[in-house]
Chain A
Amino acid sequence: MKVLLVDDEQKFAVMLAKRLALRGIQADVYFSGEKALELVQQGNRFDVAILDVKMPGIGGIELKQRLQELDEQMKFVFLTGHGSKMDYAAGTHEAENYLPKPLKIDVLIETLNRLTEGQPGVSDIDG
Chain B
Amino acid sequence: MTESLNKFPGAMWPQFHRKNDEHLNPYYTFQDYRQTWGMTIFILMMTALLPLVVMTLIYYQLIETSINTESLLRTERLASNARRAVTFFLEERLAALTFTVNEMGYDQLTNPGHLSEVLRNLKLGFGGLTDLSVIADSGTQVTYAGPFNLEGKDYSNQPWFMECQQHSACVSEIFSGYRDVPHIVVAVKSMRPDGRLFVLRATLETERLIQALSSYKTGEHADIFLVNRNGLLQTPSQFYEGESHHMNIPLPAYSDRTRAVMSTDRNGQPILIGYAFIDTTIAPTSFLLMVVKQKAGMMKVWLDLRSNINWFFGVSALIIAIVITLTSTVMVNQIFQADRQKAETMVAAERNCQLASIGQLAAGVAHEINNPLALINETAGYVKDLFTIKQQYKEDPDLLEHIDSIIDAVERCGTITRQLLGFARRFDVQNQPIDLNEMVADVINFHKKEAEYRNIKIHVDIPETIPLIETDRGKLQQIILNLVNNAFQAIANGCFLDIRAEMDGPEHVRLFIRDNGCGISEDHLNKVFEPFFTTKKEGQGTGLGLSITYGLVQKLHGNITVQSKTGQGTTFVVTLPVQIKKESQS
Contacts and interface: CB of A to CB of B under 8 A. Distances in A.
Contact of B375 (A15, A22, A54, A59): A15
Contact of A102 (B367, B377, B405, B408): B377
Nearest to A10: B375
A102 B373 contact: yes
Contact of A56 (B363, B371, B379, B455): B455
A86 interface: no
Contacts of A102: 370, 373-374, 376-378
Given A15-B378, A102-B374, A56 B452 contact: yes
Which one of B371, B373, B390, B408 has the greatest number of beta carbons of chain A within 10 Å? B371
If over half of B's interface residues share one DSSP class (helix, strand or loop), that class is named, otherwise mixed; here it is helix
B367 A15 contact: no
Given A56-B453, A82-B367, A103-B374, A15 B405 contact: yes
A18 B370 contact: no
B207 interface: no
A59 B378 contact: no
B375 A11 contact: yes
Looking at chain A's contact residues, the main secondary structure is loop
B452 A9 contact: no
Given A19-B378, A54-B449, A105-B381, A12 B371 contact: yes
A101 B381 contact: no
Interface residues of B, number: 24
Contact of B453 (A11, A16, A18, A55): A55
B60 interface: no
A14 B408 CA distance: 15
A120 interface: no
B390 A22 contact: yes
A53 B238 CA distance: 122
Given A18-B382, A19-B381, A19-B382, A12 B374 contact: yes
Nearest to B390: A22
A54 B390 CA distance: 33
Contacts of B452: 56
A12 B455 CA distance: 23
A57 interface: yes
Given A19-B381, A81-B367, A101 B374 contact: yes
Interface string A85-105: 000000000000000011101
A16 B378 contact: yes
A12 B378 contact: yes
A52 B70 CA distance: 111
A83 B370 CA distance: 9
A85 to B, nearest CB: 13
Interface of B: 363, 367, 370-371, 373-379, 381-382, 385, 389-390, 402, 405, 408-409, 449, 452-453, 455
15 contacts: A11-B379, A11-B405, A12-B378, A15-B375, A15-B405, A22-B385, A22-B389, A22-B390, A54-B453, A56-B452, A83-B367, A101-B373, A102-B373, A102-B376, A102-B377
